[in-house]
Amino acid sequence: MTLWRHELRLLLRQRLSVLALALLALLTVAALGTGMAEVARQRAAIAAIPSAQAEDIGAVADYVVRTRDAGSAAYYSFHATWDAPAPLAFAALGMRDVAPYILRVRALGLEAQIYDGDTFNPEVALPGRFDFAFVLVFLAPLFVIALFHDLVSGEREAGRQRMLDALPRGGAALRRRRTGLRLILLWAALGLPFAVAALVEGVAIGIVLLVLGVIVAYLLFWIGLAALVGRLRWSSVANAATLAAAWLVLVLIVPTLGNVVIDRAIPVGQGAEIALAQREVVNHAWDIPREATMRRFYATHPELADSPPLGSDFHYKWYLAFHQNGDESVAPKVRAYRAALERRDRAGRAFGWVLPSVGVQALLTRLARTDLTAQLAYQDRIRAFHARLRSFYYGYVFYDSPFGRDEFRRAPRFDDRAGG
């Protein structure tokens, strides 16, 4: 144990090492702080939904109760959905800055609504977020390089190598001690602030431990790389340059190349085509006999086929029916689009198996539920909720039941946890 203490004293006497460790801890704390602030902002935005919604729906109700027309209620009522950040979201914000976490939908065609985005500043999103995942994936390796590049070569250059090798408990044991000590300190600089933040945010212990394990594994990868380069017996300078170049390639260049390859290999039919096609079907309904629209609609919704037939007046049941027909007509396109997105996402994560930087990023965003999978799951919840909205309003619109304030209160409410 005394030997370890001596090593610690030695290490702490090096200004560069102390500075590096303090800086890493500081950056970690700062990144955790910005991540937590961002998540707090998102939670506050979600918490502000009910009052805004109450005001908006109240105004719609004031208007609709004059006619008690369910169709108008369906047409004018926007219903809020949201995707509350998971406890770990603060550590890896993932796509939450560019994909909406609040989306309002109404019982009309969903395909014209579900791809809408929220307001965000693209120049802020462009470089990526300053979160814990960034500090771990991008910056931590640089600190490993700073602390490990001269672990052996430094002693050799100082002329102490042979002497150290000859000492009892020197040589390999000494190197192991030094490596272990640096690993523990780096891990503490990253892991301790993270663990505190995670406990504050209420992250499950299992996940905290998993992330702490991931940190060790990722650090070990870079330490291993530094050891490998160290075996070449080059000078400290050459080691540092080689490791920095390796960092550049593994963290910056290969992922960007990978992105080019994936974009080429897996084309994604443009989502815009869904929107264009859906619009054609929806609007075409105005130019064909209304009965044709209803026949098509009742074929897929036989439970509503017993509702009273259309008169010559405009009726919302026809309007809602052709909106749903529009959605159903593009369903194959939607499935293909989504499948392609998932293929791209899988390919990106597959990169993670060979590239630790990508692997850690993928794992953290998965655990934090901020990746594309989480986005698509949110879309599924929106779809499920939208289906509930439709069946709720159809129950009134198709049978001409009056729609009053009670009905406004009875309208489905989005449930974040129970799948819409």
Partner 1 sequence: MRIVRLIARDELRLMLRNRVALIAFALIVLLTLVAVASSWSHQRGVAELRERHQHEAEHAFDAQPDRHPHRMVHYGHFIFRPLSPLAAFDPGVDAFTGNSMFLEGHRQNSANFGDVRQSSLLIRFGQLTPAFVLQIVAPLLLIFLGFGSLARETERGTLRLLMLQGASRRQVVAGKLLALGGVALAAAAPAILGLLVIAGQPGALGLPLLVIALGYLLYLGLWVVLILLVSAWVRRSRDALLVLVALWAVTTVLLPRAVPDLASGTVPLQNRLQTDVAIGRDLRRMGDSHNPDDPHFAQFKQALLDRYHVKRVEDLPVNYKGLLALEGERLTSELFDRYAAQSFAAQARQNGLVNAAGLFSPAIALRGLSMAAAGTDFAAHRRFLEQAELYRYALVQRLNRMQAEDVSYADDTATDAGADRRKRIGGAHWRAIPDFHFVAPTDATLARAALPGLVILSLWLIAALALLGLATRRLGAHR
Take residue 354 and report the two structure tokens written for it.
Answer: 């060979």
Q: What number of chain residues touch partner 1 (CB under 8 A)?
A: 99
Q: 214 vs 304, which CB is nearer to partner 1? A: 214
What's the rounded Cα separation, in Å, for the pair 348 and 262? 7
Query: Interface with partner 1 includes 395 (CB under 8 A)?
Result: no
Q: Per CB under 8 A, which region of 6-14, 194-202, 311-319, 322-330 contacts partner 1?
A: 311-319
Nearest distance, CB of residue 169 and partner 1, angstroms: 28
Query: Interface with partner 1 includes 327 (CB under 8 A)?
Result: no
DSSP letter, residue 89: G
Nearest distance, CB of residue 50 and partner 1, angstroms: 11
Task: Report the residue from 7, 8, 65, 130 that binds partner 1 according to the rule CB under 8 A.
Answer: 130
Nearest distance, CB of residue 111 and partner 1, angstroms: 11
Residues numbered 163-192 forming contacts with partner 1, rule: CB under 8 A = none
Q: 86 vs 304, which CB is nearer to partner 1? A: 86
Query: Interface with partner 1 includes 260 (CB under 8 A)?
Result: yes
What's the rounded Cα separation, in Å, for the pair 264 and 298? 42
What's the rounded Cα separation, in Å, for the pair 135 and 142? 10
Residues numbered 5-34 forming contacts with partner 1, rule: CB under 8 A = 16, 27, 30, 34
Write each residue from 220 to 239 as x if it is in contact with partner 1 (CB under 8 A), else as -, in one continuous string.
----------------xxx-
Q: Which string of DSSP letters, residue by residue, matches 144-206? A: HHHHHTTTTHHHHHTT-HHHHHHSTT-HHHHHHHHHHHHHHHHHHHHHHHHHHHHHHTT--HH
Write each residue from 268 to 307 as x if it is in contact with partner 1 (CB under 8 A), else as -, in one continuous string.
x-xxxx-xx--xx--x--xx--------------------
What's the rounded Cα separation, in Å, for the pair 394 and 62? 21
CA angle 144, 150, 152 (to 5 degrees): 115
Contact (Cβ atoms closer than 8 angstroms) between residue 153 and residue 234: yes
Bridge partners of 358? none
Q: 194 vs 351, which CB is nearer to partner 1? A: 351
Nearest distance, CB of residue 172 and partner 1, angstroms: 24
Nearest distance, CB of residue 209 and partner 1, angstroms: 24
Query: Interface with partner 1 includes 207 (CB under 8 A)?
Result: no
Write each residue from 64 to 103 as x if it is in contact with partner 1 (CB under 8 A), else as -, in one continuous string.
--------------x-x-------------xx--xxx-x-
Contact (Cβ atoms closer than 8 angstroms) between residue 336 and residue 269: yes
Q: Per CB under 8 A, which region of 122-130, 190-198, 211-219, 295-303 contacts partner 1?
A: 122-130
Bridge partners of 80? 104
Is 48 strand, coil or helix?
Answer: coil
Task: Report the residue from 36, 38, 155, 407 that binds partner 1 according to the rule CB under 8 A.
Answer: 38
Q: 165 vs 263, which CB is nearer to partner 1? A: 263
Query: Interface with partner 1 includes 119 (CB under 8 A)?
Result: yes
What's the rounded Cα separation, in Å, for the pair 258 and 359? 13
What's the rounded Cα separation, in Å, for the pair 140 and 28? 9
Nearest distance, CB of residue 416 and partner 1, angstroms: 15
Nearest distance, CB of residue 69 and partner 1, angstroms: 12
Query: Interface with partner 1 includes 349 (CB under 8 A)?
Result: yes
Q: Which string of DSSP letters, residue by residue, matches 302-362? A: GGGTTSPPP-SS--HHHHHHHHHHHHHHTHHHHHHHHHHHHHHHHHHHHHHHH-HHHHHHH
Q: Which string of DSSP letters, residue by residue, matches 232-287? A: TT--HHHHHHHHHHHHIIIIIIHHHHHHHHHHHHS----HHHHHHHHHHHHHHGGG
Query: Interface with partner 1 includes 194 (CB under 8 A)?
Result: no
